[in-house]
Structure 1
Amino acid sequence: MKPSDAAALVAGLAAALVLPSAAWAAPHMASKADPAQVVAAERAFAADGLALGVKQSFLKHSAPTGIVFNPEPQLAQAVYGAAPDGGTTKLVWWPLWAGIARSGDLGFTTGPFSVNDAPRAWYFTVWARQPDGGWKWLFDGGPPSDPTGAAPQDSPVTYARAAARAAGAPAKAMEQVSHAESALAAGAAKDLKGAYLAVLADDARVVGSKARPPASRAEIETELATRPTAVSFSPLGGQASSAGDLAWTYGAAKWTTDGQERRGHYVRIWRNDAAGWRLLFDELLPSPPQKS
């Protein structure tokens, strides 16, 4: 993909991902905001992964604006649509932690996955309710976190608590989240660990390394210590719930390691807590090193 094409795609994705919730969420505002809905969507996706194969299941369950990093943001429908048919890869995954907006139109799930019965890593998926009331994902991709010791399939799912406040409109929420992202980026450019600790929710999860996902504040600090001490973040897109209480964002990341410039992407979930917008989930996904 040419740089100009990539820039146009990112701009289009940003516009497409921020706006739709206002259009489709209103008819479902009265529905119960039960996080079991996104868990059911994830499990249906996983079941189709075995029944239909990777390509067809990912095409079936991804939203028209859904993206993957390949390694740059690309529409999932285009990426999987161009993939060869068939294949015998056995991809199995299951949710262990999930959350949903109070308006019941935006949620997320995460858990371990295996490839051909070999434990591999953890996935992370962002889900959005569609105009017909069903769910499709907006983003799918996770870090190489160690799945050792993860609860097995059909284990109870832990749910993130609901937001304490709501901005009342997705546009207003995204404006507030944009300010939070800018503040985090300014701090992370000098002291990444300190910047994160200042905005993390008390039940936050931070992943990105090959270690198991942190289960405590102390383990989160250990996870943050695996990252570069300073990272430059640039937002690319995202979307807020119609209630303005939950938002997901993604963007580009750049840093230097051993004198070499590295790059990648971040994906986040922001929740509107009593103290303001707090970072509920964050993953840093390095891109493969560029060939010289």
Structure 2
Amino acid sequence: MRALILAAVCLLAAPAVADIAPLTPKAVVEAERAFAADGAAFGIKKSFLTWMADDAIVLNPDPTSAKALYGSRPDGKGPLLEWWPVYAGIARSGDLGFTTGPYTVNGKPGAFYFTVWKKQPDGGWKWIFDGGAGADPTGAPARDSEPGYLTASNQKGQYPESASADLAKVEKALAAQAGEDSVAAYRAVLACDARVYTEDKLPGIGCSQFGPALEARPRKLLMSSLGVTMSAYGDLAFTYGAVAWGEGAGFRRGHYARIWQRRAEGWKLVFDELVSIPPPPPPPKVG
């Protein structure tokens, strides 16, 4: 009898996703476009503060409270920052998503942004991470183009805690292999419909185009996780962390930001960006 009761409790507590149809990322695309429209109309400070969650972070150059950073900026519109989504994804549970696309500054091409969105208790969307890498925007889709969509996961629900534990193992294995051969490490976990952003390189979109974006990265990377946000059904996750490479005068560091999707074959990487922190300027010459 006790076993039957426990089984019933587990069934009631499990995420009920078997009958949930996969969603499209239109909600996060609409949120991104509204955010961008406010940016053009009201400027960077007001629009970013309006659309960010209270616990949102940015890289400046280390993970920093976005609210504190933008709240301390002077009022005024500032430079004209414009951006538009060309690719987006959403969790099967409809509570976590992302968009990415090119941006311009005062009409001049910049690079690519990457925004992670989370649904709020009131049903609206706020961003929890705003970043991007200096990937070459040459050939990026135009502003009025229809964004591409990541195919939603078809996996049944999993407790966020157990999903996070499984993903932590995958990230640990990736980090261990990246310490010896980062290209092989990434190729082992990248989905063939993934996107890879590396500074000064065209985005690696799909298996046949990962090469230049991956090979431009340091061969040996030391990685450490700093945070993870898991969807309610354990099918989509945002992770970020620190990276370092080189020795002595050549030592450098930076950060990664990723989107993982749980598929039939396990967790697969569907978005990855590597952002390096510029080295400090050399000390002034004496004498």
Q: Please tell me whether Structure 1 or Structure 2 has the larger radius of gyration of its CA atoms.
A: 2
TM-score relative to the length of structure 2: 0.88
In 1, Cα distance between equivalents of 2:153 and 2:248:
40
Q: Give the corresponding residue for 2:5.
A: none
Read off the aligned partner of 1:176 and give its amino acid letter: D
Residues 94/258 of structure 1: CA separation in 2 closer, same or farther (3 Å cut) = farther
Residue identity opposite 1:179 in structure 2: K
Aligned counterparts of 1:44 and 1:71: Cα–Cα separation in 2: 27
Where 1:171 maps in the other structure, the secondary structure is helix
Query: In structure 2, what is the equivalent of residue 60 of structure 1?
Result: 50
Runs of 4+ aligned residues of structure 1 deviating over 2 Å after TM superposition are 29-34
Alignment correspondent of 1:267: 257
**What is the match of residue 101 of structure 1?**
91
1:115 and 2:100 aligned: no
Within 2, Cα distance between the matches of 1:31 and 1:203? 21
What CA distance in whole angstroms lies between the structure 1 residues aligned with 2:247 and 2:104? 30
Give the deviation of 1:216 after TM superposition. Answer: 3.4
**For 2:180, which of 183, 190, 194 is the aligned residue?**
190
Which among 125, 131, 141 is matched to residue 151 of structure 1? 141
CA contact (8 A) 2:194 2:205 kept: no
Residue aligning to 1:224: 214
- What is the distance in 2 between the residues matched to 1:101 and 1:143? 23
Letter matched to residue 48 of structure 2: F
How many residues align? The count is: 266
- Structure 2 residue runs without a partner (length 5+): 1-14
Q: Contact (CA 8 Å) 1:31, 1:104: kept in 2 or not?
A: no
Secondary structure of the corresponding residue to residue 241 of structure 2 = strand
What is the aligned partner in structure 2 of residue 39 from structure 1? 29
Question: Are the aligned partners of 2:178 and 2:222 in contact in 1 as well (CA < 8 Å)?
Answer: yes
1:214 is aligned to: 204
The answer to whether residue 46 in structure 2 is matched with residue 91 in structure 1 is: no
Could you give the per-residue CA deviations for residues 64-117 of structure 1, whole angstroms, max 9, x where no partner exists? 111001111011000000011114311110000000000000000000000000
Secondary structure of the equivalent of 2:23? Answer: coil
Q: How far is 1:249 from its partner?
A: 0.2
Output the amino acid matched with 1:194.
Answer: A
* TM-score (norm: length of structure 1): 0.87
Q: Tell me if structure 1 keeps the 8 A contact 2:195–2:203.
A: yes
**How many angstroms apart in 2 are the aligned matches of 1:166 and 1:176?**
15
Compute the displacement of 1:166 (Å): 4.1
Q: What is the distance in 1 between the residues matched to 2:248 and 2:107? A: 36
Amino acid of the structure 2 residue aligned with 1:121 = A
Distance 2:172 2:125 in 1: 30
In 2, the alpha carbon distance for the partners of 1:86 and 1:283 equals: 30
Residue 234 of structure 2 is aligned to residue 234 of structure 1: no
1:172 and 2:162 matched:
yes
CA distance in 2: counterparts of 1:257 and 1:113, whole angstroms: 34
- One-letter code aligned to 2:224: S
> How high is the sequence identity, in percent, across the aligned residues?
51
Q: Give, in whole Å, the separation in 2 of the partners of 1:279 and 1:167.
A: 19
Q: Counterpart of 1:208 in structure 2: which amino acid?
A: T
Letter in 2 for 1:290: P
Indicate conservation of the 8 Å contact 2:23/2:152, yes or no: no
RMSD: 1.9
Q: CA deviation at 1:57?
A: 0.4
Consecutive unaligned residues of structure 1, counting only runs of 5 or more, are 1-24
Partner of 2:117: 127
Amino acid at match of 1:263: R
Alpha-carbon shift at residue 213 of structure 1 (Å): 1.0
Q: Which residue of 1 aligns with 2:193?
A: 203
